[in-house]
Amino acid sequence: MSPSVFPSPGTSAASSPAASPTAAELLDFVREAAADAELVASLPLDPEGRTWVRLEGPGGSEAWLIGWPPGTGTGWHDHAESLGAFAAAAGELTENSLSVRLPASGWKTLELHEDLDRERRVAAGQGRAFGRHHVHEVLNESTSEHAVSVHAYYPPLPLIRRFSRTGAVLRFEQVERPEDWQ
């Protein structure tokens, strides 16, 4: 599906960017957008693949409304130098994350200590914010229900680093740039 741009709650095409949004402001935005039933209902859902539309985020941030079919996920990744937040609008998402900041470059494989894993369940109406270099994967573990969520990042994503994981070993796989997903 080709992404589209939709105005979001509290924004207008004529709005001028204000100061850089904080993680707390991004979280407020994604929660407000996730509570907008009309916006959420406008997202076409596909039974097999994720769908998305681009939203106008606060202060020049990048924002997305995303549909998650049952059993889908992102794989392990980070958002480089961007702050972020996401909120579930429908269904429940699981976020697995690491409680450590990884080096920005210079490595291919890391062995992780066993106490670094974190798991959060984010149900409809809930959200969370995160800082730069936050490594995580987001999953819809339902076997029968779609999930829908809203995500925002500032600054707009310059890149996403993708990782694979086998047990305690995290391996750097590739870098994706905006032209790869927009």
pLDDT single digits (tens) 1-39? 334 444 545 444 444 445 899 999 999 999 999 999 999
Q: What CATH number did the domain enclosing 158 receive?
A: 2.60.120.10
- What's the CA gap between 171 and 30, in Å, rounded? 30
Q: List the one residue out of 68, 65, 64 whose CA is nearest residue 46.
A: 68
**In which domain, by residue range, is 11 found?**
5-180
Q: What are phi and psi of 23, to 5 degrees?
A: -60, -35
pLDDT of residue 16: 44
Q: Could you tell me which residues come within 8 angstroms of residue 118 by beta carbon, excluding any fewer than 6 positions away?
A: 96, 97, 98, 99
**Radius of gyration of the chain from its Cα atoms, rounded to whole angstroms:** 16
Convert the pLDDT of each residue in 29-69 to its tens digit. 999 999 999 999 999 999 999 999 999 999 999 999 999 99
Distances in Å between the Cα of 98 and the Cα atoms of 43, 85, 102, 115 are 30, 16, 9, 9
The predicted model scores a pTM of 0.86
For residue 102, pLDDT beyond 90: no
Number of domains in the chain: 1
Rounded mean pLDDT of the chain? 89
Peptide bond before 155: cis, by omega within 30 degrees of 0? yes
